[in-house]
Structure 1
Amino acid sequence: MDLLYARAQMGLSLAFHIIFAAAGIALPLLMVLSDVKARRTGDADYVQLSKKLAKGTAILFAVGAVSGTVLSFELGLLWPEFMGTYGEVIGLPFALEGTAFFTEAVFLGIYLYGRERIPAGLHLFSGVMVALSGAASAFFVTLVNAFMNHPAGFTPTPGGPVNVDPVAAMFSPGWAYQVLHTLLACYQASAFAMAGIHAFVLLRHPGAAFHRKALSVALPLACVSALLQPFAGDLEAEHIAHAQPVKLAAAEGLFETQRGAPLSVGGLPDVETRTTPYALEIPKGLSMLAFRDPDAEVKGLNDFPRDEWPPVLKVHLAFQVMVGTGGLMALLSVVTLFLRWRHKAWPEGRRVLWGWLLCGPLGVVAMEAGWLVTEWGRQPWIIRGVMRTADAVTPVANLGVPFWTFTLVYLFLGAMVVFLLVRQVSGTLPGRAPPSEVAHVH
C-alpha cells in the first residue's frame, strides 16, 4: 500500500506541476511575440496583451516553483534508493535545470519591472531570455526522464554504478526525440488553451478587438506545434519500438509477436485472455509506423516475462487518448491554416471559433496522457532494466498522510490559479477593458 501511495503522490505532483511547467515554457514565447507585434505596429492592444501574458507567466511561474520544489523533495524522500544510488549518474541535468530556473526568475523580474525603465531592446531581450530559460528547464528535466527510460553512462553492478560518465548519462539514446516531443507538447498545450479562452470571449463578444488580436498571436504557434507534433511522436515511437518494445506492445495492446502487425485503433486489452477486443485494426499499420516496413516483425507482450509487463490497459487507453486528441488538434489546425491562406486573415467565423473553444483543453489532455504513457509504460522499473520501482521506494510507513495532505494543497493552489487567471481575462472584456480597446469595440 505504501508503494501505491508513493507512486500516487509522485504522479499527482507531476500531473499538477506539468501544467504550470508547460505554461512557463510557452507563455513567455507568446509574450515576446506580442511584444514584437506591439513594436512593429504600435498597437496598444498588443502592449496590453504582452503585459497580461507577463502577469500570467508570473502567476504560473510562482505556482510552478512551489510544486517543483515539492517534487525535488519527493524525489529524495519517497525514492531514496534511486537518488542515493544513481544521483551521481544523473545529477548533472538536475543541477543545470536549477541554473535555468534561476535564470528564468531573474529575467522574468527584469521583464516585469523593467518596462519603460530600461531600453526597449534590453526589455525585449529579457523576455527572450525568459522564453529560452523556460525551454532549457524542460530540456534538462526531460533528459532525466529519457535516462530513466533508456539508461546509459554507467556500468551497473550489485554494489552500485561504476564507470560513471555523467555526460553520456545525460544524453542517453533517444534523448533528442523525447525532448522534441515534450517541448512541442508544452507549446501546443499552452497555445491551444490560450486560443480556446479568446475564442470563448469572441463567441460572446464578436467585436472585442483585443481578443481578436490575442487569437492572432496564439493561432500560429498552436497550428505549427499541432502539425509538427505527429512527426515528433512518430520519431519517438520508432525509437521506442527498438529500445522499449514492451512499452510499444502495451500501448498497442499487442500480445502475439507478428510480422505485418496491425495498428489497433481503440479496443480494450484483456490480459487474462491476452486479446484486445473491440479494436479496429489497420492491416500492417504498426509494422509500417514502427519499422518503416509493412512486413517487419513487432514483438508482442507474450515475448516478455509477465512480471515485466506495464499496466497494459492503462497504457493502451492513455496512448489512444494522446493520439486521438492530437489528431483532432492537427485536423483543426489544417482547416484553420487553409482558411487563413484562402482569406488572407485568421478566420473568425463562429464554427471555427467553436472548434477552437472545444479543442482548447485538448492540448493539456494530450500532454497528460502522453506523460502517463511514458511513466506507466516504463513500469515496473524506475530505471528500466536496472532498478525496480518497488526497490527504490522509502521504507517509511504511513505515506497516505502526506498523499492526502498534498492533494488538498494542490486543490487549493489550483483554485487560486484559476481565480487569478479569470481575473486577468475578465479585465479585458468589453465594458471592463481599458480605453484603447473600448474605442476599438465601439
Structure 2
Amino acid sequence: MKFFNIHIERSERINLQNIDKNRCKYGYLLIFACFFIYMSSMAAKGIFAAEQKYIADLWLNGQNRLASMANTFYFVPYGLIQIVLFFIMKKINIFKYVIITVPIAAVSTILIGTATNIYQIWIYFGLSGLFQGAIYCGCNYALTQNLPTKLCTTANMVMNTAYALGTVLAYSICALSLSFNQEGLWRLPYFIIGGMFLLSVLVFALVLNKAKRFKHINEMMDAKILLEEKKKDANVDKPLISIDTKSKTIIFYTLLLLITFLVTSLYYSVMNYVTTLLVGIYKLPDNISIYVSIIAPIAIFLGPMMTISSCEKDKNFIRQGVIFLSILLPIPILLYFLYNVNIIIALILVLAFVVLANGIKAICISIIAFKMKNQLNTAAFSAITNAVASIAAGVAPTVIGAIIDASGWQTAYLTIFIVALVTLIITFIVNVCVTNSNKKLQ
C-alpha cells in the first residue's frame, strides 16, 4: 500500500511539473507575441521622429513646429481613444478590439509612405494613432491575466525593451534609406514596417488564443505558491498603496496621472530633438545624424531595466521614483551651459537624461500595473496612464519645438529643468504621505 501511495505522489508531482512546463511555455510565447505587436507599433510611430528633420527641410523650409504637429495629430487621438477605453473597458472584449482595429493602423502606416504633403501625413498619422490606442492596454491585460506570476517580471522587462527596439528598427531603416540620397526613399520604411505591423497582429491573435487556456491553471498554481510564501513572510503580498475606497482611488489616479504627464513630457521634450540638435547645432548630415541618434533608443531601454530591478529589491516604487528624479534633475542645467560646447558631451548628457526619464516613465505606466495587478483592472489602468502619457508625448515636443524656434535651446532646457523640479517635489510629497500612512497602520 505504501508503495502505491509513493507511486501516486510521484505521478502527481510529475504531472504538476509537466503542467508548469506547458504553462510557462505558452507564457513565454505570449510575452513574445505582446512584445512583437507593441514593438511593431513603436517602430511605426518612430519612423516620423527619425525623418522629421528631413521632412521639415523637404516641405516646410525647416520649420520644426509645423513638422512636429504630426506628432500631435498622432498622440492626441492615440491618447483620447484610450480615455474612452478606460470608461468602456468592462463593456467590450479588449482582445477582439485589438485584433479588429490594429490592422487599420498598420494600413494607415503604409499610406504615410504615399503622402505628397505634410497635411496627408497628419491625417494618416492621426488615423494610425487612433487605431493603435488599444495595443498597450490590451497587451498589459493579456499578460497580467494569463501569465504565471513568476513570469511577470520577465514580461515587464521584455515589454519595456519593445519601445527601444522598435525605435532602433525605425531609425536604422530610415538612416539606411536616407543614406542613398535618392528622392522618395524616405517612403520605404513605412512600407516595410507597416507590413511587419500587419504580421504582428496575426501572431498576437494566434498565441493569445492558446495562452488563455492556462488562465485558471495559473490562478490555482500561483495561489498555492503564494500560500507557501506567506508561511515565511506574512506581509509578502501586502500592497504599498491601498485603494479600497472611492476617494482613495480618485486621489491615486489624480496624482499618478499628473506625475505620468510630467515625466512623459520631460522624456519626449529631449528625445524627439536628438536628431534636430545634431543637425542644427553640429551640422551633421541627415543620414549621419539619424545613425548617431540610434544610440539614444539603444540606450533608453536601460532605464526601465534599472527601475524594474530596483523596484524588485525595494517594494516602495514611489521612493524609487524620487531617487531617479533626483539624479535626473541636474542634467538640464548642464545642457543649458554645455549643449553646444562638444558633440560628445551633449550626447552623453542627452542620453543620460532620456535613460533616466524612460526608467521613471516605466514606473508610472508599467511597473505599477504589474505590482498592483490584484487591486486594479490592468487594462483600464494601462489605458488611462498610456493615454495621458500619449497626450504629453504629442503636446510636449510641439511646445519645446516652438520654444526652440522662438527663444533658442537654452530657454528650452531651462523649461525642462523647471518641469523636472516640479515633478520631483510632487513625487517627494507623495512618498512622504504614503510612508507615514503605512507607518500608522503598522
Q: TM-score scaled by structure 1? A: 0.33
Q: TM-score scaled by structure 2? A: 0.33
| Higher-RCO chain (CA-CA 8 Å, sequence separation at least 6) | 2
